[in-house]
Amino acid sequence: MLDESILRSDYNRPNRACFLADCLRDLDARLRELGARLVIRRGHVPEVVAQLAEEHAAKEVHISSDVSSYAKGRETALRNSLRDNGRTLVIHDGVINVVSPGLLVPAARDHYAMFTPYFRRWSEAPMRSLASTPPRLRMPRIEPGTVPSASEICTGQPSSNLPPGGEQAARAKLDAWLSGPLRVYHRVYDSVADDATSRLSPHLHFGSLSATELVARTGRSSAGAHAFVRQLAWRDFFHQVLAARPSATSQDYRPRGGHWRTCDREMAAWRDGRTGFPIVDAGMRQLSVEGWMHNRARLIVASFLTKTLYLDWRWGARHFRDLLVDADMANNQLNWQWVAGTGTDSRPNRVLNPLLQARRYDPDGDYVRRYVPELADVPGAAVHMPWELRDRERARLDYPDPIVDLRQARARFLEARGKRRYDS
Ligand code: FAD
């Protein structure tokens, strides 16, 4: 069901439309192999689904639960519209998550606000068993509709180097991941230079890969597997926070009292990857070209926007949502809040210094050279501080000077938060 309200909203962006179109094509092909078809409808969900149920005398409609307030409102409207005709809506928990939101709660609270105790409980929770694929499917007589192309879902230019969507692509990626890189994940997951994470996030977001299956197949027998499963638990953690606090998509989860600055020039420099800090610019360029960014780079660019420039996290989250293929209301908004210090981070006033981060996670500058072509000829770690190159070399680079002084920015942040020094 293509939800017209979402298609018309600013959440519908070309990068995700491309991935979705791949997923739908792939799903239809898979269903055909089993003797069925993907039935596609587009419109106002409560009306169109109720009408389809009426035409085929379906007693029940089954859907997967979701946590955003929009999705909850849609569920209620659909339930009411089906109930008017004596039909039932059945909502399946845990299709998106390994452990459903609300299943694990601490004493006297409706959700976990800290990851570590949540993860402890999550690790002990019974995992659902995996269903096997049926050998054949029976299909009622029904007009399937046409599987749309990306341009029929959304207009606009997608990024040039997007990953392919669909279950087949997900399974190929998963098999390659489990048979090698997973083993060393715990050692390299933070290295932007190594680029050695799974890149499975778009598949988890679109459901072309099940998180439950991923955890089951990963196991917990090696240090790599353990670290990877721990990262997957962050997904469930943020979903359970958002399910309990739907307003956190736009309001501070923990208000800090400060007023964000606004500066169009700095926002544009951040968005375009022209801040003069190569590690920040590399992250932003990766986002623009691939519709994806390494997690460490996401942390660095988000800290730079919200703490170094002291600009509103909502603006950064919006830009991420425009481009990320894996953009997800819970993971995106709450990770942004985590970095901005208005979310669930227990050290809300820590600021990531982009130079120290660059030296640590891109020691030879490979990541920067990969994404910032103006700096491709600057060797080694010197690429992180182009302002220290000799005047003649520097004049040849079409690369901006830093837009901010890091020391002054740090002082401004601490003052705004009413602190003399960092709490970390
Ligand atoms: P891996 O390192 O291979 O991890 C495996 C999986 O664990 C990921 O696919 C993801 O599902 C989950 N995961 C890992 N880290 C996190 C995390 N911090 N929070 C939640 N889940 C996590 N992730 C999204 O899926 N959608 C978003 O919109 C999103 N926005 C983010 C915004 C910011 C500012 C930050 C700091 C992080 C954001 N993340 C988001 C989390 C994380 O960056 C991505 O999940 C990760 O980079 C995806 O790459 P991967 O699949 O190679 O991850």
**What was the pLDDT predicted at 424?**
40
Residue 311 main-chain phi, psi, to 5 deg = -105, 155
Query: Which token pair is 91?
Result: 């909502």
- Tell me the pLDDT tens digit for each residue of 191-248: 999 999 999 999 999 999 999 999 999 998 899 999 999 999 999 999 999 999 999 9
CATH code matching the domain that covers 264-417, chosen among 1.10.579.10, 1.20.1440.130, 1.10.287.610, 3.40.50.410: 1.10.579.10
Give the residues of the chain that fall short of pLDDT 70: 420-424
Between the CA of 321 and the centroid of ligand 1 the distance, in Å, is 13
SS3 labels along 319-362 = HHHHHCCCCCHHHHHHHHHHHHCCCCCCCCCCCCCHHHHHHHHC
Nearest CA to ligand 1 atom 2: 197
pLDDT given for residue 44 in this prediction = 97
DSSP state of 249: G
Q: Which atom of ligand 1 is nearest to the CA of 336?
A: 34
Q: End-to-end alpha-carbon separation of the chain, Å?
A: 47
CB 293 within 8 A of CB 161: no
* Stretch (H or E) spanning 61: strand 60-64
Q: How far apart are CA 79 and CA 91, in angstroms?
A: 10
Distance (Å) from CA 141 to ligand 1 centroid: 41
Residue 201, marked binder: yes
ipTM for the whole complex: 1.00
pLDDT of the residue at 69 = 87
Report the distance separating Cα 369 and Cα 73, nearest Å. 46
- Residue 213 has a CB neighbour count (10 Å cut-off) of 16
pLDDT of 421 reads 55
How remote is the C-alpha of 397 from its chain's centroid?
Answer: 33
Task: Pick the closest to residue 298 from 263, 335, 269 (CA basis).
Answer: 335
- Written out in words, the top-level CATH class of the domain with range 96-128+168-244 is mainly alpha
Q: Is the CB of 312 under 6 A from ligand 1?
A: no
- The pLDDT, as a whole number, for residue 259 is 87
Q: Which one of 68, 335, 342, 361 would you pick to mutate in the ligand 1 pocket, going by the greatest count of ligand atoms within 8 A of its CB?
A: 335
Is residue 232 marked as binding? yes
pLDDT at 423: 45
Tell whether 190 is in a known binding site: no
How many angstroms separate the Cα of 182 from the Cα of each of 23, 97, 196, 259, 420? 25, 21, 9, 42, 42
231 marked ligand binding residue = yes
Token couple for 310: 């002291």
Does ligand 1 have an atom closer than 6 angstroms to the CB of 199? yes
Instruction: State the number of CA atoms in the 13 A half-sphere of 350 facing the CB.
Output: 13
Helix axis angle, 167-178 to 14-33, nearest 10° = 90
Q: Which residue type is seen at 189?
A: Y
Q: Write the residue with the smallest CA distance to atom 11 of ligand 1.
A: 201
- Residue 183, SS3 per DSSP: helix
CB of 339 shorter than 6 A to ligand 1: yes
275 lines ligand 1 (CB under 6 A): no
Q: Which amino acid is at 325?
A: V
Q: Is the CB of 201 under 6 A from ligand 1?
A: yes
CB of 242 within 8 A of CB of 249? Answer: yes
Apex CA 275: angle with CA 270 and CA 277, to 5°?
A: 120
324 is in an annotated binding site: no
Residue 424 among known ligand-binding residues: no
Whole-number Å distance, alpha carbon 295 to ligand 1 midpoint, is: 6
Residues belonging to the chain: 424
Q: Where are the domains of the chain?
A: 96-128+168-244, 264-417
Its pTM surpasses 0.90: yes
Q: Is the CB of 310 within 6 Å of ligand 1?
A: no
